[in-house]
């Protein structure tokens, strides 16, 4: 069995990376290795098929795919593997990412893509960690700590806003 948690992070273009890097950072925070590549469903379709076909054997546990415009990358990768695929629709066109979102989320029956929000790179990393926590128990406490830190931050903001409101 594969002992190292590994996620593939595939993006359609290097222009996606400023957003996608947040996903890579999130994976690393949870101790998940990231195999990061630029592969396009349209410009390099054979590379997309080859990567997806060999991913499981290469020790990849989950595939995260980010793409924009007519964003078929996640769906194409999902067509060639039984690994779970998480899609990040990118806000890379004049349509503010709605085109990417619909291209990704509206998969036909049989080939699911777990689609996060437009530019939702952080959530893609967190969702991947939640999936991998089922196989790698050491990830679960890191997720619990992450949630506790978030809650503490909100509590701090709540206190600050209450004080600011009281002073009005
Ligand atoms: C998609 O087209 C990419 O994922 C990117 O979001 C968008 C624009 O790509 P470039 O023209 O910047 O390479 O395939």
Q: How far is the CA of 47 from the centre of ligand 1 (A)?
A: 16
Beta carbon of 15 within 6 Å of any ligand 1 atom: yes
Q: How far is CA 89 from CA 9, 137, 167, in A?
A: 13, 29, 42
In angstroms, the CA 26 to CA 33 distance is: 10
Q: How far is the CA of 43 from the centre of ligand 1 (A)?
A: 10
The predicted pLDDT at position 2 comes to 62
- Model confidence at 3, pLDDT cuts 50, 70, 90, reads confident
| Per-residue pLDDT tens over the stretch 92-101 | 889 999 999 9
Is the pLDDT at 151 greater than 90? The verdict is yes
pTM of the model: 0.96
């Amino acid at each position: 069995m594969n002992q190292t948690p590994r996620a593939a992070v595939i993006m359609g273009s290097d222009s996606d990376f400023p957003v996608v890097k947040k996903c890579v950072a999130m994976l690393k925070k949870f101790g998940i290795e990231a195999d990061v590549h630029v592969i396009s469903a349209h410009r390099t379709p054979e590379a997309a098929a080859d990567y997806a076909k060999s991913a499981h054997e290469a020790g990849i546990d989950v595939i995260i795919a980010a793409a924009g415009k007519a964003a078929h990358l996640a769906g194409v990768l999902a067509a060639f593997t039984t690994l779970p695929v998480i899609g990040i629709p990118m806000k890379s066109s004049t349509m503010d990412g709605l085109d990417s979102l619909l291209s990704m989320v509206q998969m036909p029956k049989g080939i699911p893509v777990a689609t996060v929000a437009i530019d939702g790179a952080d959530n893609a990393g967190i969702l991947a960690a939640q999936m991998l926590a089922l196989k790698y128990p050491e990830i679960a406490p890191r997720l619990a700590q992450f949630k506790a830190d978030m809650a503490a931050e909100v509590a701090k903001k709540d206190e600050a806003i209450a004080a600011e409101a009281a002073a009005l």
